Amino acid sequence: MGQRLYFDNYTAVGDIVVLAICFVIGILVATSYNTKTKTFKLFLNMVLYLGLAALSDMVLHDFYAHITDGNYTPVYVIRVIYHAMLFSLFLIYVVYLVVILNLERREVIPVMSVATGIYGIVIISDIIMTVTGKGFKINDEGAAVYGINVFMIGYIAFVTMIVFLILKYRDRVYQKSVIGLFGTMAISFFILYNQGRHGQASFTVATFLFPVLAIMYLLHSNPYNVETGTVNASAFKDAIRYNLEKKIEFFFISMYLPDFHAEAKELPAELKAEIRRFPSAFFRKSVLFEISNGHLFLMVPKKGNPKCEEGLKKIVEAFNADYEKYRFDYKLVMGKSIEEISRRNEYLSLVRNIMRHMHMNSLHEITDEDVKAFDRSEDILVQLEDIYKKGNLDDERVLVYCQPVLNIKTGKYDTAEALMRLRLPELGMIFPDQFIPLAEDMGFIHALTRIITYKTCEAAQSLLAEGYEVKRISVNVSMSDLRDEDFARELSEIIENSSIPNGKIAIEITESQTESDFNSLKSMIEQLKDTGIRFYLDDFGTGYSNMERIMNLPFDIIKFDRSLVIASQSDKRSEEIVGKLAGMFAELHYSVLYEGIEDEADEKRCINMYASYLQGYKYSKPIPIEELRNFFSKSA
């Protein structure tokens, strides 16, 4: 009866735990968010076969323990089913590896041929050995007798194949994931080995559980943020892909909170509570994605949510109420799934393109015109990328326009502001508001700044050679340029190589809002000041003006924005405020330039408010830089 010990030493505790864990995984899958990828479906099949294996192992030993008539046929049949479940798990492991390793078709065919060959041979051999009595059998005394252990041979064959695949293609998988998989497999071997040494059979299925848990944790964990109920951004594109594949229509609302995005600040607890409430309060099966700090994207399936649009409007009302309470700025974009955008998986780009042109604390509902404008932006981006990659300073697609500036002291036009335009194939003339934000977002602005500086220098050289008086031409520079360590050197080289006299090129800069940008700006000005370049503070009076920082930077000219010109005409008090500001700068030896002068009333008022220079449509709209000859005077 000693041979029966191996079968008798079985307790159901191992299989019960495995079965319980399979149910727990099922509950977690049902109540959490997981991307519906092919690998995730394979993972769910692993869990299913694992549960079936544990259940069949329990049934197998229960039958064996209660048979009294000597008919052990059910035990043989259930044992084959039990082994089939375990080796099916192995087969799914191999398929899973084929997918995550991105094997090519020529690699997949031999791998799957070997795997299915092992599977078929093991199952058939197990049946044959059992039928012939050369493998597992139960003798006349009811004792389990083990001959050739087909299960262990198959186990070793599959494990060897899996280890071989992971090692051969290890460069295609993140190293820590490989270590995690190998670590759990080592624990499985250890338990199986010690189980055999002690004549046990209780934890065989459990040894298959550990790699499944490793796969779940390493590759399929998309945890909710428990404070906001959001899912991380890595799952977003997979969700779009899945909805397209399953033809699931959805509504969405994208919420952008710039205060929290710019400074990477944490959302207040009260706001987190509101955001956490949104999905469950208004919708069924909705998912809230945290795209980045301060940017949320709520996706709501149309099916099962007949009042979806009404729910979205309630969210907008909640945002308006929260704005009154917390005073955080926001932008909201609403829409419904668009097949073409889903196919390109470009909802985030579409939303960002729309938000660039939105006012703060406003809502925008996506229209067909928005999609057309976005497609146009994408075409522009293709051209911008090409301009960036080629780096041709003479690129014909980049045009330099200028707006002449009136020098009050001389009464002449001897300065101008260079303005960029693009003329693109099939798209025609593109204005700055359409391409500058795109170029800044995608890192292409530096190439454009180099080109316009070069072309402005070339044009200035031509004007000077023809005898025209050119005091200076200013070029706008983005804060993105200033963050580039090579910018000052490259700009200096372009100006020096043009052979124009010092001081003929100026740089216009919009005031920085962050400490790091201020430091970059200060460093760049200090590097370039010695080359004779003059510096303009652009758009003074628009939204943000830190007087302490302005005084700490060696600007030469302060450009008063058109908004101050308009404000100065509203009443005498406003005119006095703007005039005193300009007077303060004049006393500190700054030149004051008013932009946006449209009529004689503007001109007269601004001259009385310490203007050194005037610029606007009263004098000229932006013109090709070559047409400055019509405004500049020749030297006597």
Distance CA 43, CA 49 (A): 10
Quick one: pLDDT at residue 74? 87
Quick one: pLDDT at residue 321? 77
Q: Which of 340, 350, 174 is closest to 244 using CA atoms?
A: 340
Note the pLDDT tens digit of each residue in 475-508. 998 878 877 778 888 888 998 898 898 889 999 9
The token pair that represents 125 in the structure block: 């051999």
Quick one: pLDDT at residue 2? 37
- Reported as half-sphere exposure (CB side, CA atoms, 13 A), residue 123 has a value of 18
Note the pLDDT tens digit of each residue in 420-438. 999 999 899 999 989 998 8
Strands 295-301 and 250-256 turn out to be: antiparallel
Q: Which of 361, 263, 277, 348 is closest to 319 using CA atoms?
A: 361
The pLDDT averaged over each successive group of 10 residues in the chain (636 residues) is 53 92 89 76 93 93 80 88 94 90 89 95 92 82 78 91 88 76 86 82 88 80 68 84 91 86 65 72 82 87 83 78 76 92 93 89 91 93 95 95 95 95 93 91 92 96 94 90 82 89 88 66 78 85 67 84 90 91 91 94 94 95 95 85
Distance CA 407, CA 385 (A): 38
Could you tell me what percentage of the chain is helix, strand and coil, using 3-state DSSP and rounding each to the nearest 5?
A: 60, 15, 25
pTM: 0.66
Quick one: pLDDT at residue 627? 96
Distance CA 222, CA 32 (A): 8
Q: What is the dihedral of CA 181, 183, 188, 189, to 10 degrees?
A: 110
Distance CA 552, CA 340 (A): 51
Q: CA-based diameter of the chain, in Å? A: 126
CB-CB neighbours of 488 under 10 Å: 19
Distance CA 248, CA 244 (A): 6
150-168 vs 73-100: helix crossing angle, rounded to 10: 0
